Amino acid sequence: MKYTLNLPMASGRFQAIPPEQYLPVALAAEAAGFDAICVPDNVMFPKTVSAPYPYSADGERIWDAETPCIDPWVAIPAMAAVTSRIRFFSNVLKLAIREPILVAKTVGSAACLSGDRVALGVGLSWMPEEFRTLRQDMRTRGARVDEAIEVIRALLRGGMVEHHGAHYDFDPLQLSPAPRRPVPIYVGGTSPAALRRAARLGDGWISMLHDARELGGLVERLRALRREHGREREPFEVKALWTLQLSPERVSELEAIGVTDLLVTPWLAEPGGDRGLEGKRASLARFADALIAGRRAAR
């Protein structure tokens, strides 16, 4: 099992991390033995949103307009610059509101500067206001993300690339430098379309909040879809968001389901919640002692 520190973007109990804590928390996570850090994405906070938030019981956003959210591809290079081993990925970048050539340039640049320690987590976007403000077509968002993943993957391989698709069309061009290693692309979401996208195009899948039974069902569906696409023998990460306290027994249960990486925020699973920077450092150390210590000592 791998462990990723999930930097939350929410209000209330799931408090977003202040910008000034990104770098010291990254250093603490690396020292504790975490494998990766994942960073949220939110471009804007429209005063009025015309669609319900799909991941809350009442459809309300679980953050307010003042909730800090640093652009993931600014935060990731900054954290990579002060660390040496730990990896980073977006959880998840709203790809449907962005131009894929620019995304590929940004991610490829971060990969080159970090020593290939980055991956790209992608999703859609649920807010009509984001699409309207950024002049993107919401109706075609799923098809465009499918095509954008193919464009980004081709560009990050290096060399001249041309693409003539339904939504993106360009003659031969090259982005330099190219990463030395392939940049993994993980797909987030739980809709049937998102699961199909992950199974067909992704190097892994990023979950929302689920209990073990729900996760098991989703992982089985992903396995079936990957068999349909002839990808069952290829490496594939199952990255599960988990906000409750963990024990070795629970980790073993999730591993048996097929989870390969747990996305955790240890200080939010402890009584008292967020206690400032020193509290976060102490919480990361306690988590490491309980669940990562054996593997850390073997490194």
What's the pLDDT score for residue 234?
97
Domain locations in the chain as residue ranges:
2-298
pLDDT in tens, the chain (299 residues): 999 999 987 655 557 889 999 999 999 999 999 999 999 999 998 998 898 888 777 877 777 788 889 999 999 999 999 999 999 999 999 999 999 999 999 999 999 999 999 999 999 999 999 999 999 999 999 999 999 999 999 999 999 999 999 999 999 999 999 999 999 999 999 999 999 999 999 999 999 999 999 999 999 999 999 999 999 999 999 999 999 999 999 999 999 999 999 999 999 999 876 679 999 999 999 999 999 986 555 45
Handedness of CA 270, 271, 273, 278 (dihedral sign): negative
What's the pLDDT score for residue 296?
52
Question: Residues with Cβ < 8 Å from 286, sequence gap 6 or more?
Answer: 266, 270
The second-level CATH assignment, the architecture, of 2-298 is Alpha-Beta Barrel (3.20)
* Helix or strand (DSSP H, E) at 213: helix 212-228
Question: Residues with Cβ < 8 Å from 148, sequence gap 6 or more?
Answer: 95, 96, 98, 100, 103, 122, 167, 168
Chain CA centroid to CA 47, Å: 26
Q: At what angle do helices 100-114 and 72-82 cross, to 10 degrees?
A: 10
Q: What whole-number distance in Å separates Cα of residue 175 and Cα of residue 157?
A: 9
Handedness of CA 204, 210, 214, 215 (dihedral sign): positive
Distances (CA, A) of 222 to 91, 144, 292: 19, 21, 28
Q: What whole-number distance in Å separates Cα of residue 219 and Cα of residue 217?
A: 5
Give residue for tokens 């504790």. 32
Rg (alpha carbons) of the chain, rounded to whole number: 19
What's the pLDDT score for residue 59?
79
DSSP 216: H
